[in-house]
């Protein structure tokens, strides 16, 4: 990775990934793009271009102009929003991906795009979900992610594009707010705990989902992209996870630091249905064995850091 183009770079992941990559590879070598301009440090502290990923010509032209050798494709509609706007999700998630893969093929770029635990469905084994297993998701987001995993494998075997990817669990972070996923509750709870000392969860008690703190997610992207390709038996969609918890466990952890904190439930049937169709926990052994995936943050360590950082941000 010497010159990297990032799509959807103002989202929850991109907002932190661009900053981290610029610190490693140099500010001028990370070209951030998004459909909007929010004036943040991603826009001001290095090259930034407006790019709608459904515009294939502009994507190709920008990648050629900056002579990039790597594309990190993040722009997508997330699970809860995709369920509300399925056709838009199909057009953006699949159209954007194929444009990015075509650009990578033509300009011989290395390629990263994230899949998700949303690529699994109700018939997938629920606990310690294996790397290679049944994938029959029942959401538009899941359909997009499975098709995307297969398409990335296809571009590797058919065209030799160096495609790599992970299945992210729910990501928890404090820089940018999440963009409409099913696991967003696990971020919102921290904001509400600090602001109002109470939180109403739209995900029901007893619902376990995999999660990861953003610093571990960023390291995973960089470690996988830098990994020795001869060691990779899988190319795309490695299961990775750092923890699995239900809302009550998260609330109990927050209560250790904010004793007055109270949580109640007002379950959203749409997001709960998505959550119930996903695994309770996934098995990251393939990622550990093939490129040394590891995570540093468990629930307790993440909660200390989230509360500390958010208190500063919100004060």
Ligand X SMILES: NC(=O)c1ccc[n+]([C@@H]2O[C@H](COP(=O)([O-])OP(=O)(O)OC[C@H]3O[C@@H](n4cnc5c(N)ncnc54)[C@H](O)[C@@H]3O)[C@@H](O)[C@H]2O)c1
Q: Just list the catalytic residues.
A: 141
For residue 74 the two structure tokens come to 């993040």
Query: Given candidates 30, 68, 71, 75, which one binds ligand X under the rule CB under 6 A?
Result: 75
Residue 293: which residues within 8 A CB-CB, separation 6 or more?
220, 223, 224, 238, 240, 284, 287
Nearer to ligand X, 194 or 214 (CB): 214
Tell me which DSSP letter residue 172 carries.
Answer: E
Q: Is 32 in the site for ligand X (CB under 6 A)?
A: no
Distance CA 225, CA 110 (A): 8
Query: In sequence order, what are the beta bridge partners of 30?
Result: 4
For residue 269 the two structure tokens come to 């049937």
- Binding to ligand X (CB under 6 A): which residues in 53-72? 53-54
Minimum distance from residue 259 beta carbon to ligand X (Å)? 29
Q: Is 14 in the site for ligand X (CB under 6 A)?
A: yes
Stretch that binds ligand X, among 4-12, 120-128, 223-231, 252-260 (CB under 6 A): 4-12
Minimum distance from residue 218 beta carbon to ligand X (Å)? 11
Distance CA 7, CA 11 (A): 9
Nearer to ligand X, 38 or 196 (CB): 38
Residue count of the chain: 315
Residue 262: which residues within 8 A CB-CB, separation 6 or more?
197, 198, 199
For residue 120 the two structure tokens come to 């699994």
Q: Report whether 101 contacts 111 (CB < 8 A).
A: yes
Q: Is 223 in the site for ligand X (CB under 6 A)?
A: no
Minimum distance from residue 105 beta carbon to ligand X (Å)? 19
Site size for ligand X (CB under 6 A): 29
Nearer to ligand X, 31 or 76 (CB): 76
Nearer to ligand X, 46 or 170 (CB): 170
Stretch that binds ligand X, among 39-47, 59-67, 149-157, 173-181 (CB under 6 A): 173-181
State the DSSP H helix or E strand holding residue 51, giving kind and residue range, or none if neither.
none
Backbone Cα Rg of the chain: 19
Q: Is 181 in the site for ligand X (CB under 6 A)?
A: yes
**Which spans of this chain sit near ligand X (rule: CB under 6 A)?**
7-8, 10-14, 34-36, 51-54, 74-76, 78, 92, 114, 116, 168, 170-171, 178-181, 183
């Amino acid at each position: 990775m010497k010159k990297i183009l990032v799509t959807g770079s103002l989202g929850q992941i991109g907002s932190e990934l661009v900053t981290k990559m610029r610190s490693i590879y140099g500010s001028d070598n990370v070209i951030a793009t998004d459909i909007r301009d929010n004036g943040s440090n991603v826009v001001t502290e290095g090259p930034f271009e407006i790019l709608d990923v459904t515009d294939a010509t502009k994507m190709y032209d920008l990648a050629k102009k900056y002579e990039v050798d790597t594309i990190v494709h993040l722009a997508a509609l997330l699970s809860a929003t995709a369920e509300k706007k399925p056709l838009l999700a199909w057009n953006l998630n699949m159209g954007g991906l194929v444009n990015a893969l075509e650009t990578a093929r033509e300009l011989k770029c290395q390629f990263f795009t994230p899949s998700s635990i949303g690529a699994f469905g109700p018939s997938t084994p629920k606990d310690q979900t294996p790397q290679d297993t049944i994938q029959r998701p029942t959401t538009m987001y899941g359909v997009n992610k499975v098709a995307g995993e297969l398409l990335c494998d296809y571009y590797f075997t058919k065209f030799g594009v160096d495609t790599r990817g992970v299945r992210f669990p729910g990501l928890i972070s404090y820089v940018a707010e999440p963009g409409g996923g099913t696991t967003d509750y696990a971020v919102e709870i921290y904001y509400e705990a600090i602001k109002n000392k109470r939180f109403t969860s739209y995900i029901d008690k007893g619902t376990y989902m995999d999660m990861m703190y953003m610093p571990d997610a960023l390291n995973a992207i960089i470690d996988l992209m830098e990994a020795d390709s001869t060691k990779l038996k899988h190319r795309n969609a490695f299961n990775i996870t750092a923890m699995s918890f239900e809302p009550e466990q998260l609330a109990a952890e927050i209560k250790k630091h904010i004793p007055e904190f109270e949580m109640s439930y007002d379950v959203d049937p749409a997001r709960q249905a998505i959550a119930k169709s996903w695994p309770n926990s996934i098995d990251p052994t393939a990622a550990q064995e093939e490129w040394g995936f590891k995570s540093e943050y468990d629930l307790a360590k993440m909660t200390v850091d989230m509360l500390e950082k958010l208190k500063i941000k919100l004060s």
